[in-house]
Amino acid sequence: MKVALITGITGQDGSYLAELLLGKGYMVHGIKRRASLFNTNRIDHLYQDPHDPNQRLKLHYGDLSDAMNLTRIIQETQPDEIYNLGAMSHVAVSFDTPEYVGNIDGLGTLRILEAVRILGLEKKTRIYQASTSELYGGMPENKNERGFYDESSPFYPRSPYGVAKIYGFWITKNYREAYNMFACNGILFNHESPRRGETFVTRKITRAVSKISLGLQDKFYLGNLEAKRDWGHAKDYVRMMWMILQADEPEDWVIATGVTTTVRDFVRLAFIEVGIEVEFRGEGVDEKAYVLLCNHKNFQLEIGKEVLSVDPSYFRPTEVDLLIGDPSKAKNKLGWVPEYDLASLVKDMMRGDVDTAKKDVILLKAGHEILRQAE
């Protein structure tokens, strides 16, 4: 039985990857940070009785800032594959916590690589490092002749998160060459799902639109509506992570869809999923979205109602306006083809958030009924 170790297993990618590997018969170990609150909701459906001898998922307390702890976990688990998905991955927040991001996203990668080397596991353990499209910084002059970013495009990170990840990228490449380790970088472009963190823009959109469609919220606020991203589904991307570590040789890979969409159009698609059509008026910080047509079966919004405004406080100090990746290498060499397009991604996310919003409606009605009876 193959053994895998996943850092960041309680996150979006970690939970989907754990599902994938368990389905392939792996023994999966996951590292989670100690917290006063339970934060395992994304993997609770996978984690059964820890006393069950057939349980193939085991969690360990750890932190990417603690080299001794990481070394102990790797020594105990003796993994065939390590997937380093743990990170502080919110680009905007990285401007507020640059030192922490550098320690976790940059040096955390080094600690894992060095632990594998010290323990003499260079020939046994294959390592996947979760890199990011933020390495490119959206610099138009660095795209290839087809207008995309690929494995040979120069890097120009424009956030503390991107800078920390560029260290992780190069130290992984360095250990691969210096110690002949099977260590690979997956340069992931934006990938979303119903399990995406609620502070990320796509999930912020789908949650707000779901609540607006059910009368739980009037409007919401976003930053740069003109920003363009290459959005894929996390399920497709974790499948590629696994494929990278099954390859014959260790290499670096771009994981992307090759299609770019504005934040504005993502908003449109989300509203369409609940039978609402919106139009945008104004420019820059004065741009707003209004209800143009409402075919929602259970809730009618007033035509012309304002549902979205721009809040300049959400602008980043250095904005990356356009990111689009070229996944040709992954498709040609490994046969990776995404199963989800953008429309099906938005549908999947909206389905999850609408279901959650409906539960909120039920709870709200129940609360009102209790108050009514108490009067």
CA distances from 260 to 133, 203, 321, 333 (A): 13, 17, 11, 23
The maximal CA–CA distance of the chain, rounded, in angstroms, is 74
As beta bridge partners, residue 84 has 7, 129
Helix (H) or strand (E) holding 187, with range, is strand 183-188
Residue 176 to residue 97: CA distance in whole angstroms: 30
Residue 271 to residue 149: CA distance in whole angstroms: 30
Write out the two tokens for 275. Answer: 């039978």
Torsion angles phi and psi, residue 373, rounded to 5: -70, -25
Query: Would you name the residues annotated as active-site residues?
Result: 132, 134, 161
- Judge contact between 142 and 322, C-beta under 8 A: no
Residue 296 to residue 67: CA distance in whole angstroms: 53
- Judge contact between 66 and 108, C-beta under 8 A: no
Classify burial at 271, counting beta carbons within 10 Å of its beta carbon; exposed 0-12, middle 13-18, buried 19 or more. Answer: buried
> Which one, of 191, 195, 187, 194, lies nearest residue 170 by Cα?
187
Q: What secondary structure letter does DSSP report for 330?
A: I
